[in-house]
């Protein structure tokens, strides 16, 4: 049986890492030959999760065609968010909870997409559908992924399916989800020791919007001033990233995980669709104030997409 690699998106967050590990485990239990890998090193939050459950991080790969002919994608589908040589291998399966864009295959494939808060919620259901017991360690990992993606069920992306999964997985893992969840989220908010260049790339995704290359990054914190007191450093890092990667627009979300509000720094062109999307002008600091906004997937990208397409 040919080996298949399972992986999430570039700049992996907790769900990208965990979903690959959990789905690979499920597939192997069903007789497949897969390995979970990652398209980047774990961030601080994910390191906390892996350390807590005493699990080794998947190995990091930059290319896959030199190893396998078939791959499986989790937590993403868009080509620009995936491995560099994806066009040289066959995508045989996708499990995701995002929009479908810039994605096509030459052969039929298994595709599971649901509008839930986290890919690990879907994989939890798939364990049940395949009558495979969820190991305690895997339950803890998937619980962590759902906590991360839904900001402990506070994100508007949260569904009843996510709530049900968190309750079940917490029971299997033997964990108080609220207490553990706050500790997990706080682990990902250490920003003072990191450079602006590292922070803007840690959780960032590229989107093609009406022909424009738009980068949307997100930094979670307990105080947005921890970021904006360093705004000149962030502006320099963003402009360097724009020049190096050909981004037309860079949209940096700085999200307070305690009050579920975001302030965004916007650099690039065009600005008009951004102001249209959020019904406000950039202030003198090139920022938008976005109360109640925490989700890139649901509260930022769809709004930007609509505004760019109408511009």
The β-bridge relationship of strands 4-7 and 70-74 is parallel
Average pLDDT, stretch 208-216?
Answer: 96
Name the more confident of 188 and 168.
168
Could you tell me which residues are annotated as the binding site for Mn(2+)? 9, 13, 15, 75, 97, 149
Q: What percent of the chain clears pLDDT 70, i.e. is strictly above it?
A: 100
Q: At what angle do helices 136-150 and 177-187 cross, to 10 degrees?
A: 60
User: Does residue 270 have a cis bond before it (omega within 30 degrees)?
Assistant: yes
Whether the pLDDT of residue 311 is over 80: the answer is no
102-106, long-range: CB < 8 A, 24+ apart: 102/78, 102/208, 103/77, 103/78, 103/79
Known binding-site positions: 9, 13, 15, 75, 97, 149
Report the largest interatomic distance among the alpha carbons of the chain, rounded to a whole angstrom: 60
- The count of other CB atoms within 10 Å of the CB of residue 101 is 15
66: its two tokens: 């030199």
Contacts of 289 (CB under 8 A, 6+ apart): 261, 263, 280, 283
Q: pLDDT at residue 107 above 80?
A: yes
* pLDDT, position 258: 87
Q: Any idea which of 3-17, 118-132, 187-201 has the lowest mean pLDDT? A: 187-201
Q: Summarize the confidence of residues 91-108 as an average pLDDT.
A: 96
Instruction: Please identify which residue in the block is written with the tokens 């307070």.
Output: 256
- Taking residue 76's Cβ as centre, other Cβ atoms within 10 Å add up to 25
User: Is the separation of the CB atoms in 222 and 257 below 8 Å?
Assistant: yes
Place 252 in a pLDDT band, splitting at 50, 70 and 90.
Answer: very high
249 DSSP β-pair partners: 214, 268
Question: Phi, psi at residue 115, to the nearest 5°?
Answer: -80, 65
pLDDT at 246: 96
Cβ atoms within 10 Å, residue 261: 16
pLDDT at residue 207 tops 80: yes
Q: Position of tokens 């650099």?
A: 267
Question: What's the pLDDT score for residue 60?
Answer: 98
User: What is the band of 230 on the pLDDT scale with cuts at 50, 70, 90?
Assistant: very high
Bridge pairing between strands 90-96 and 110-113: parallel
Count of residues making up the chain = 311
What's the confidence (pLDDT) of residue 22? 98
Provide mean pLDDT across the span 294-308: 96
């Amino acid at each position: 049986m040919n080996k298949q690699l399972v992986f999430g998106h570039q700049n992996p967050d907790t769900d990208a890492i965990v979903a690959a590990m959990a789905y690979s485990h499920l597939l192997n239990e069903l007789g497949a030959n897969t390995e979970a890998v990652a398209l980047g090193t774990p961030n601080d939050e994910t390191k906390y999760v892996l350390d807590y459950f005493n699990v080794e991080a998947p190995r990091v790969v930059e290319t896959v065609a030199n190893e396998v002919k078939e791959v499986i994608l989790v937590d993403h589908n868009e080509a620009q968010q995936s491995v560099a040589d994806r066009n040289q291998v066959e995508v045989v399966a996708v499990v995701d909870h995002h929009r479908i864009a810039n994605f096509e295959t030459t052969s039929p494939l298994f595709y599971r997409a649901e509008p839930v808060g986290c890919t690990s919620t879907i994989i939890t259901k798939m364990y049940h559908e395949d009558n495979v017991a969820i190991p305690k360690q895997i339950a803890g990992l998937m619980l962590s992924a759902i906590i991360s993606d839904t900001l402990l069920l506070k994100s508007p992306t949260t569904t009843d399916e996510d709530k049900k999964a968190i309750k079940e997985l917490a029971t299997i893992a033997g964990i108080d989800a609220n207490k553990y969840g706050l500790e997990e989220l706080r682990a990902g908010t250490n920003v003072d020791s990191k450079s602006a260049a590292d922070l803007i790339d840690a959780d960032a995704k590229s989107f093609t919007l009406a022909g424009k290359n738009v980068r949307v990054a997100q930094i979670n914190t307990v105080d947005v001033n921890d970021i904006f007191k360093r705004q000149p450093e962030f502006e320099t890092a963003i402009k360097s990233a724009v020049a190096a990667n050909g981004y037309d627009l860079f949209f940096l979300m700085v999200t307070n995980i305690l009050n579920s509000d975001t302030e965004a720094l916007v650099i690039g062109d065009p600005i008009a669709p951004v102001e249209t999307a959020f019904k406000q002008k950039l202030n003198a600091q090139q920022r938008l104030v976005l109360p109640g906004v925490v989700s890139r997937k649901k509260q930022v990208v769809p709004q930007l997409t609509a505004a760019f397409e109408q511009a």
